[in-house]
Amino acid sequence: MITLLGVAIGGAFGAFLRFGLSGWINSIWGGVLYGGTLTVNLIGCFLIGLVFGLFETSILHPAFRGLIVIGILGAFTTFSSFGLESFILIRHQHWRALLANILLNNVGGLLLVWLGYILALKIASFSQH
């Protein structure tokens, strides 16, 4: 029951963060359709790589996995929004923007998961000394 509560609270917090950050980024980018979603997805990828590494190296207790990974980061990242925005770019035949959106979210996301994980390993090795 505690895990379920953690997921629910984390989900509310993650959704709040996504809404605020995505809206703010979209206002900075001048209404570029995918700017806020892209930023949130890339930050979320980095954070999930970092958190995964911190769990794997026992810096974070496994009891927090539901709260952080499923709750906060699950609500924070926005794959369904990415799909919709890509679809809108297809409908309007904005092929370059579509390609950029797909490449930046997917390739950039994978790279940032990896970088977050590497950082977690460095934090773990530093904390053991």
| Chain segment 59-118, per-residue pLDDT in tens | 999 889 999 999 999 999 988 888 988 998 999 999 999 999 999 999 999 999 999 999
Nearest-10 crossing angle of helices 35-56, 95-127: 30
Question: What's the whole-model pTM score?
Answer: 0.83
Evaluate whether 116 touches 53 at the Cβ level (below 8 Å).
Answer: yes
Report the C-alpha gap between 87 and 113 in whole angstroms: 25
The set of residues, in sequence order, having a beta carbon less than 8 Å from that of 20 and lying 6+ positions away, is none
CA gap 116, 109 in Å, rounded = 10
- Confidence band for 1, pLDDT divided at 50, 70 and 90: confident
